[in-house]
Every structure is written in structure tokens, then in C-alpha cells.
Amino acid sequence: MAKDSIKLIANNKKAYHDYFIEDTYEAGISLHGTEVKSLRMGKCSVKEAFIRIDRGEVFVYGMHISPYEKGNIFNRDPLRVKKLLMHRAEINKITGKIAEKGYTLVPLKVYFKGSLVKVQVGLARGKKLYDKRADIAKKDMRREAEKDFKVKNLY
């Protein structure tokens, strides 16, 4: 297996619906043994997760990693707070942007890069209701156009 091969574990589609993603960063994550085994089986959810910076350290809250079935006393709490590993300069840059109005950090993807678990972190700005409606309308128009295109090509 190549060093840079990427295997997606979890994707946060809700984040793309609720936020404008301005910038993305790659972060490592501090895990315990049975959590990694559970991730290898694809048991992870980042739907309700959010990220906070506390005293210069980045933590992800609400990221659910199901307990490993074959694990015993070594299993950890599925919703425990997990530390993200990022460079100090990146953390300082993000902290400066979050201090601006309306920015937040959300986890977008959890994936294996080689043998390491990585989290793609998005610097996001919240969407208003009318922005979401415009996105849905755009998606519907594109879907209709694709359907028309298929119908025309069948005849």
C-alpha cells in the first residue's frame, strides 16, 4: 500500500449544507488503540461534531467512534473529546480568523493517509436560510438539466 493512499472513513455532508467552507486544513488526531481498530472498520460519525481551540490546543467534540466489538476494558467513551494535532503556526492563523465575526471550525472528513488517521478541518462561515434555499434550487436546476440531457440523448 502506498504511503499517500487515502481511504475515506467518514464524510460530513451536513457541514457543506450548513456552512460556506473558506479554507481547509489537515490535522492528525490523538487516538487510543481500540479507536483506531474501530476506525479501520469504518465506525465513525462526524455529523454533530465541532472543533474548539482551548489554550493553544485544538479539540474535536461530539465525534462518535463506536466501541470496538472485540475490545474489552480497553474501549474508550465513544464521544470523548479528542485532541487534534496541528502545527503551532496553523493554530495561530486559525485563531486569528476565528476571532473575526462568524467563523467556526468544523470537521469535514476523517480518513486514513497511509497508516495515519487524519481529519480535514474546515474554516467555515454559517449560511443563512436563503443561502441554503439558493443552493437547493441550484442543485434542482442542475438535476433537471442532466435529466433533460439524458432524455435527448436516448432518442
Instruction: List, for residues 126-145, the tens digit of each pLDDT value.
Output: 777 777 788 888 888 888 88
Q: Distance (Å, rounded) from C-alpha 51 to C-alpha 46?
A: 11
At 2 the pLDDT is 57
pTM across the whole model: 0.71
User: Could you give the C-alpha distances from 66 to 60, 76, 89, 108, in angstroms and in order?
Assistant: 16, 9, 32, 18
Q: Which residues of the chain have pLDDT under 70?
A: 1-4, 71-77, 151, 153-155
pLDDT digits (tens, 9 = 90+) for 92-112: 888 888 887 778 888 888 888
